[in-house]
Amino acid sequence: MTNLFALIAAAGTYATALMFGTLGETLTEKSGNMNLGVEGIMYMGGIFGLIAANRYEALVGEAASNGFLAILIAIIGAFAAGAVAGLLFSFITVTLRANQNVTGLAMTTFGTGVAKFAGEHMRNALGGYVSVSNHLKASFSLKIMPSFLQKIPFVGKILFGQPHFFYLGILVAVLMHLFFTKTKKGLYLRAVGESPVTADAAGINITKYRYLATIIGGGISAIGGMVYTMTTAGCVWIEASLGGVGWLSVALVIFCTWKPLNAIWGSMLFGSLMIMYLWIILPFFPTELYKILPYVVTIVVLIIASMRNNKEKQPPANLGLNYFREER
Amino acid sequence: MQNCAIELKNIRKTFGPVVANDGINLQINRGEILCLLGENGSGKTTLMNMLSGIYQPDSGSIYANGEEVFIRSPHDAYKYGIGMIHQHYHLVDVFTAAQNIILGLDEKMDIAAVNDKVKDICDRYGFQVDPRKKVYDMSVSQKQTVEIVKVLYRGAEILILDEPTAVLTPQETDKLFAVLRNMRADGKAIVLITHKLAEVLSVSDKVAILRKGKYIATVNTKETSQQELTDMMVGHSVTLNIDRPKYDKPADKLIIEGLTVTDREGIKRLDNVSFTAKTGEILGVAGIAGSGQRELLESITGLYPITSGSIKFVNDKSENIELVGKTPMQIRQVGVGMGFVPEDRLGMGLVGSMGMTNNMMLRSWRKGKGVFFNKKEPENLANKVWKDLEVVTPSTEFPVRRMSGGNIQKVLVGREIASRPPVLLTAYAVRGLDINTSYAIYNLLTEQKMNGSAVMYVGEELDVLLELCDRILVLCAGQVSGIVDARKTTKEEIGLLMTTVGGSKEAN
Ligand SMILES: Nc1ncnc2c1ncn2[C@@H]1O[C@H](COP(=O)(O)OP(=O)(O)OP(=O)(O)O)[C@@H](O)[C@H]1O
Ligand SMILES: [Mg+2]
């Protein structure tokens, strides 16, 4: 039992990366845009976040570098990279009306390619590897909650023993939930994703909403990539290690039935499933099989949701479809 | 002129090679109900879409209150007080009525105030809406009401309704018309598109007629007749009658005994239904909407779970084959064809982006042997439907989605009839079809019957049932309240049976 709580607590770091990836894609998909380029976007966030922090430190010097500023700059760097990717995706699908699935897959290839190129380029330029100083590394993984809270039996570590990004993720999830359910703009955004004809007839600017949601969504997803490199991967660029996080986020969006609040516990669950092989070792059970568990769970959820035919748990009705007023 | 709200002058609109509207002049007045009449594909929806900002005319001008206006988007349309209720509703399913109503408005999201205002509008014109109800929980007519309230909430002075009655029961239609009359009294201008001439004559003040995209004339309803309107619509004099030949050797084809079904909530939808459908006969099914017509057809085709009872199909060798327990596909192979016309035409059995030929193939591909499909047969079928039902389309390859509402339906029904099943089930086959085509369908059904098919026809209009069918089965609350000889019965008798549970089983 203790083992289980320890497992969940340890999954928090990995879960945070997933949480951002999922929240960003949720925002995008609510507008009806299905950006399958999350994998590429998170790769870009991973490298550009790291480069931003690294450049900041090189600029001001190791001694003068401030942990809080470094985090802020890493967030901005990653967000900007993801936003550019989102902008590109919107331009190709909304303005040029290209097929969203094809464009998304191309974005994945493009994003991973750009990230790998940038990583390699920096490695050569810096001679060795890209990283930040130890004291900045510590700031990125800082556990900010008071230690007496962490000592609460069982759940203390899970709830309060996480790095700050985790709580930032929860904040984003809560804000997004409020945005969707309580604000007019959120209602309009959902209308655009559910039924663009209706939204258009009501005078809502479909193009504007789709662009903005996809750009901001891309930015948020990219922060997830940055969180991964700066925490789980220990602030060094290891190309292969980010692989699959984006796809897992896409699956998690479905698992959470497009509800931001579900992303909080959903990412913890997926995170735990992903690192389970380190904690629960069954003989003759290859570790790779553990890693497909999140996908298995997603499929099960999909089946249950469609069997129940619950209208509230369905994807936005126009997900993946472009809108053109005169087409019918 | 003070009274004139909207005037259209010399409007033309084309879609590639298709000329949808040409030389249209139209005047829409306040305090008047104007009916727009025309055959399927004559350009009614297209014309109204130009008023609601969905399309822009290629040439011609639109005047609102005497001034020329350009309506570039639906938002613009609202600015000029124009609101349209489309053939396919524009509502977000997962939102409540209130959320749908305030969509896109510049006011604060204050649900309580919205609810009040909605209630106000409802009281004024006499309908009911629960602002908190989600759209997916609503019936078709409730959805339509939300659409109307939405348009009124935005302060529309000119209301356009595209075939609002096609999916309503006669009772719901009466309610809608009462509302429309209240709006007219309130000084609003109303444009109504419908194919039902009886409705046109009962509710409108003026009728404007389009034919093949061209404007023909506007006449005063009081000074016209059903025959004159039909002639103007078609362009030449037509005789509308159905002959009802008698088939000489009728034999039992479908024997249904004690059929009982219950829905998910455990309510009995069909209760101990027994009857026989014979070859060479059209068996009409009458009843107030929701009396079990849909469940009956779905049970026969294997789409509805059956609690008890039996459905036997008599094949050519006079063997009885039990259909209960078979899958829909097996039932189809036995020879039961269904021409069911759903509310969402594209949702059922047609692929919108494909043309007629390929859609015909969807129905028949199982028959072919080998890897490659045979395109000859579906092509012939498509051409037959195109010709027989006068489908308005540039070619059999033209995507069905782009065709007009009624023409999509012709493809759907035509395909079913043309595949000549031994048992042909049809429900609401003429929904949304113009009067000329409706009669073409009636004649096709009669042709099938004379070929020895057993035809079942679920319909709403009693006059048609009386003229078309050989026998009429009347359902009331899921029970058979009577089976009568259509040649001998009266509208009154059927009307009475429709409201008497159980009825008196004398005929048959
Ligand atoms: N977006 C479009 N693209 C191509 N063709 C179109 C489009 N919209 C309409 N048309 C064509 O314009 C013609 C008129 O269509 P419209 O929908 O206005 O007819 P309608 O009078 O409303 O018919 P119905 O009674 O069947 O609804 C049809 O031939 C249709 O195929
Ligand atoms: Mg139409």
pLDDT at res. B505 = 46
Sheet bearing B189-193, strands edge to edge: B67-69, B59-64, B4-15, B18-29, B214-220, B206-211, B32-37, B189-193, B158-162, B82-85
Report the amino acid identity of residue B364.
S
- Class of domain B4-234 (CATH, top level): alpha beta
Q: What is the largest CA-CA distance in chain A?
A: 63
Distances (CA, A) of A208 to A100, A102, A213, B104: 17, 22, 8, 13
* DSSP string computed for B254-307: EEEEEEEEE-TTS-EEEEEEEEEEETTEEEEEE-STTSSHHHHHHHHTT-S---
Relative to beta strand B67-69, strand B59-64 is antiparallel
Report pLDDT for A328: 60
Q: Which residues of A38-66 are buried (b: 16+ CB within 10 A; e: fewer)?
A: bbbbbbbbbbbbbbbbbebbeeeeeeebe
Long-range contacts of A309-312 (CB under 8 A, 24+ apart): A311/B93, A311/B94, A311/B134, A311/B136, A312/A257, A312/B94
B206-211 and B32-37 beta bridge pairing:
parallel
Tokens of B140: 């078709």
Residues of A in contact with B102 (CB under 8 A): 184
**Do residues B314 and B251 make contact, with C-beta atoms less than 8 angstroms apart?**
yes
Indicate the length of chain A as a whole number. 328
Which residues keep their CB under 5 angstroms from ion ligand 2?
A: B 45, 404-405
Tens digit of each residue's pLDDT (9 = 90 or more) over B445-472: 898 899 888 999 998 888 889 999 999 9
Is A38:A247 a contact under the CB 8 Å cutoff? yes
Tell me how long chain B is.
508
d(CA A249, CA B49): 41
Q: Do domains B4-234 and B247-337+421-433+453-508 have the same CATH topology?
A: yes
Give the mean model confidence (pLDDT) for residues A20-49: 97
pLDDT (0 to 100) of residue A167: 95
- The whole-angstrom distance between A316's CA and the closest CA on chain B is 9
For residue B242, which of B441, B475, B462 has the smallest C-alpha distance? B441
Q: Which two tokens stand for residue B434?
A: 């113009």
pLDDT of residue B506: 46
CA distance B111 to B440: 50
pLDDT (0 to 100) of residue B180: 94
pLDDT: which is higher, B236 or A22: A22
Q: Report whether B432 contacts B195 (CB < 8 A).
A: yes
Domain around A319:
2-327
Tell which residue, B339, B275, B314, has the closest CA to residue B472: B275
Which atom of ligand 1 lies at the shortest distance from residue A328's CA? 1
CA–CA separation, A40 and B230 (whole Å): 62
The strand pairing partners of B211, in sequence order, are B214
- Percent pLDDT > 70 in chain A is 98
Residues 287-326 of A with CB under 8 A from B: 311-312, 314, 317, 325-326
Query: Residue A224 class from Cβ within 10 Å (0-12 exposed, 13-18 middle, 19+ buried)?
Result: buried
Question: How many independent structural domains does chain A possess?
Answer: 1
The more confidently predicted of residues A85 and A9 is A85
pLDDT of B507 reads: 42
Task: Report the predicted TM-score, pTM, of the whole model to 2 decimal places.
Answer: 0.82
pLDDT of residue A8: 85
Chain A neighbors of B74, CB-CB under 8 A: 200-203
Cα–ligand 1 centroid distance for B398 (angstroms): 12
pLDDT at A31 over 90: yes
Query: Which residue type, as a one-letter code, is found at position B335?
Result: G
Instruction: Taking residues A166-178, report their average pLDDT.
Output: 97
In ligand 1, the atom with minimum distance to the C-alpha of B42 is: 21
Ligand 1 atom index nearest CA of B43: 18
For each successive 10 residues of chain B (508 residues), what is the average pLDDT? Answer: 84 92 94 94 93 92 92 89 89 92 81 87 87 90 92 92 85 90 93 92 95 94 91 83 84 92 87 93 89 88 89 87 86 75 58 85 62 75 87 88 83 80 84 85 88 88 89 92 91 87 56
The CA–CA distances, whole Å, from A280 to A4, A158, A159, B382 equal 9, 18, 22, 63
Looking up residue A273, the CATH number of its domain turns out to be: 1.10.3470
List the domain boundaries for chain B: 4-234, 247-337+421-433+453-508, 349-420
How many whole angstroms from B228 Cα to the centroid of ligand 2?
A: 22
Q: What is the mean pLDDT of chain A?
A: 90
Tokens encoding A57: 């430190």
Domain boundaries B247-337+421-433+453-508, CATH class: alpha beta
| Run of H or E residues at A84 | helix A67-90
Chain A CA closest to residue B150: A202
